[in-house]
Structure 1
Amino acid sequence: MIRPLLILCVLALGACTSPPDPRLLLPGAQPMTGGVTVARSVEIREISLPYYAEGEEVAILGENGTVEILDSLLWADLPPRALTLRLAETLARALPQTAVAAEPWPLLSRAELSVNVQVSRILGAPGGVLDFEGQYFIVAEDRGSYERARAFDLSLPVTSVGAGGIASAQARAIEELATLITTDLAGVTTRDLGRR
């Protein structure tokens, strides 16, 4: 008697659950043209995002200029982690002779340079434009003396009307940011890194 009742309860409970929310992925990383730097290793610190962009809910720019949170669509990974890993992967492709990784630093020797990105705005409307603004900082670790602080202000078209267009625009924004960082890394000298 207890067994059929237990089965009935499990079936009733299963009927009450809702299907999982759909999850949005960033599209795959694109190949990058080879850059050059004397740095042997670069650590990417976790990207700092505005509050509205930190959570798993997708945020878009509403028609009246406000931030709208789409509760019905979630990111497949938390945006700070996903964007940090994408930046590290993109820089690793652009700088094939340099070890590039996101924090926590996975290698035995410390990274020669660290990159810290602080985003003040990452917001767009499907079918409109994605604004990607903030600053990045490149600092030599250990004995080095290199410091660089740069502002960035990028606007990218959101080519499709759905939320997938926002994901594609964010991926392209990270690629453009990687190009800016690669240009700065090309100017680093061995002296900047404390090498003789």
Structure 2
Amino acid sequence: MTITTTRRFAAIGLALALAACGSETRFASPIAPPEVRVPSSFPSLEVAEVTLPSYAAAEDIYLRGADGAISPAGTLWADLPARAITLQLSRDLATITGVTVAPEPWPFRPFPAARVDVRLEEMLATAEGTFRLAGQYFVAPEAGGRAASGQFAIVEPIGGESAAAIANARGRAVARLAEEIAREGL
């Protein structure tokens, strides 16, 4: 690890800690509709609540240090990460595919044509100034159609030393995941 990497991580941690001092500061990923369009072989999709590693399921924003230790940054996500990511995936998949997409529980009749299940193994900022989102996705048709699964490891530059920059990077990473699921799984 270089001195520059160590300094960057220290600066990110300090900025996040200062942002948290004296208040319960929360950060949301901005809504940015995807511009990519990919047709879906399914007319409707249900997105199961995203599963997260235990550290990422909490409201805290986490950082992985150069030594590999995963620690809370001292600031919070605006919403529970599983809920926020599930809602963003639903919104982004609907925009990308043009089909009816909703998070579970399915609010419509009849049942959805397929279910998308995302299981994250990693969701955090790193000492290298990146945001990592890694795991697996599964697409299960209700009746007929092609089942699909895939692994992903998405890395987005944070582009700053603030919790807002981390939230922006998370939003971009989830949008890239929605595009990958649409291209490879639907």
Q: What band does the TM-score fall into relative to the shorter chain?
A: 0.7 to 0.9
Contact kept, 8 Å, 1:125 with 1:166, in 2: the verdict is no
Amino acid paired to 1:47: V
Task: Give, in angstroms, the shift of residue 130 of structure 1.
Answer: 1.5
2:82 to 80, 83, 89: 80
In 1, Cα distance between equivalents of 2:69 and 2:128 = 16
Contact kept, 8 Å, 2:150 with 2:185, in 1: the verdict is no
1:41 aligns with 2:57: no
Contact kept, 8 Å, 1:126 with 1:159, in 2: the verdict is no
Amino acid paired to 1:178: A
- Runs of 4+ in structure 1 off by over 6 angstroms are none
Contact kept, 8 Å, 2:138 with 2:149, in 1: the verdict is yes
Q: Which residue of 1 aligns with 2:115?
A: 114
Give 3-state SS (helix, strand or coil) of 1:119's partner: strand
In 2, Cα distance between equivalents of 1:155 and 1:70 = 19
Task: Give, in angstroms, the shift of residue 32 of structure 1.
Answer: 2.4
Contact kept, 8 Å, 1:29 with 1:86, in 2: the verdict is no
1:25 aligns with 2:22: no
Q: Which residue of 1 aligns with 2:148?
A: 148
Q: Which residue of 2 aligns with 1:174?
A: 174
Give 3-state SS (helix, strand or coil) of 2:106's partner: coil
In 2, Cα distance between equivalents of 1:163 and 1:63 = 18
Amino acid paired to 1:175: A
Give 3-state SS (helix, strand or coil) of 1:21's partner: coil
In 2, Cα distance between equivalents of 1:69 and 1:185 = 33
Give 3-state SS (helix, strand or coil) of 2:132's partner: strand
1:125 aligns with 2:126: yes
Larger radius of gyration: 1
Note the residue ranges of structure 1 that are not aligned, 5 or more in a row: 1-18, 187-196
In 2, Cα distance between equivalents of 1:79 and 1:126 = 21
Amino acid paired to 1:170: R
1:93 to 92, 95, 98: 95
In 2, Cα distance between equivalents of 1:31 and 1:180 = 12
Structure 2 length normalisation: TM-score? 0.82
163-172 vs 110-119, greater mean Cα deviation: 163-172
In 2, Cα distance between equivalents of 1:161 and 1:126 = 11
Share of identical aligned residues, percent?
33
In 1, Cα distance between equivalents of 2:23 and 2:54 = 24
Give 3-state SS (helix, strand or coil) of 1:36's partner: coil
Deviation per CA, 1:31-90: give whole Å up to 9, x if none. 32222123110011011111110011111122432111133x211110000001001111
Q: Which residue of 1 aligns with 2:138?
A: 137
Q: Which residue of 1 aligns with 2:16?
A: none
Q: Which residue of 2 aligns with 1:59?
A: 62
Q: Which residue of 1 aligns with 2:15?
A: none
Change (3 A) 1:165 1:126: farther
Deviation per CA, 1:106-159: give whole Å up to 9, x if none. 112100010000111112137711121110000101x22521111111111111
Task: Give, in angstroms, the shift of residue 20 of structure 1.
Answer: 4.7
Contact kept, 8 Å, 1:41 with 1:100, in 2: the verdict is yes
Q: Which residue of 1 aligns with 2:19?
A: none
Q: How many residues in Structure 1 have an aligned counterpart in Structure 2?
A: 166
